[in-house]
Amino acid sequence: MARIVTVTPNPAVDTTYRVAHHTVGETLRVASVERRAGGKGVNVARVLRTLERDVVVVAPLGGDAGRWMRRQLAAEGVAVRPTAGRGETRTTVTVVDDVSHPTVLAEPGPPFDPRAWESLRTEVGRSALPGAWVVVAGSSPAGAPASAVAALVAVARSRGARVLVDVSGPSLAAAAAAGADIVKANAAEVCDATGARSIDAAMSQLSAHGATVVVSRGAEGMIARAPDGTLIRRGAVPGASGNPTGAGDAATAGLVAALDDDLPLDTAVAWAAVAGAAAVRHPLAGAVDLDALLLLAARAGIDVDGLLVAPSPVRRPS
């Protein structure tokens, strides 16, 4: 059984097109194409594997695309527990050049199916271990109610697992109310989820049920609010430029890896910032190069050994 479970409710085949210059309305010649199994939870798991963490992906994988994703993840050494998926697993296309911000075209994927979601919830319950982490990350199928993510939080918590949720919209607020230990999003998403006009007010609302709130702010770094109101601010890591797609997923991986080692919140936020910066330097979304991560950590003055030590054993259910 894995120490960390990542849950991807709406996985995707991630396709990255690199072009010389992305111009709307013109025929573009693609210099290179990369296809990878993706979705936020899958990207989190991939970075955790780079950090040599014991992790398993739980995701609904349907059709030929879903079978392809299973083979790709197995080839990468990422364990996966597929659940029943209705319809074909979606595709996302990212167009990258060296001039402007990448353009992402994200298919909606199969619509919400209560039976498929129940299969996902059941597998989360089977996979969660007492004291370990369950990470729910990414979009939900079209038509899914906010209560669907809350149900994943509830079943993981009922197994004694700790839960980190990185989603957007009403599902973020529902996850916090359902007892998530950590809720993570960017500044716009926390305000959108709560209707608050400021980050401080949004974080206060989300932490009302006991959640720690972590907010990524791009070039301004990260901020976290503990349930007791303590604020932790971390500036952006210098020396990071490139493709920001998937940087938030790498940040989530750095955060949960540090928390799984029972490192303090300020150290975990620092590692989240470093992992996100390392992902920006990688040409593919949701991936980090370990050498780059260690270099950026050194620049940020972070103790490398603090994250790369072997995790302690987790208590197995009786």
H helices within 195-264, ranges in order?
199-206, 247-260
- 157 touches 151 (CB < 8 A): no
Distance of CA 69 to the CA centre of its chain: 17
Active site residue 249: yes
C-alpha 53/C-alpha 297 separation (Å) is 18
CA 2 from centre of chain:
17
Q: What span, in angstroms and rounded, lies between the C-alpha atoms of 295 and 61?
A: 36
DSSP state of 220: G
- Residue 107's CB is within 10 A of a number of other CB atoms, namely 14
Contacts of 278 (CB under 8 A, 6+ apart): 240, 250, 288, 289, 292, 293, 296
Give the active site residue among 97, 181, 249, 261: 249
Which residues are known catalytic residues?
Answer: 249
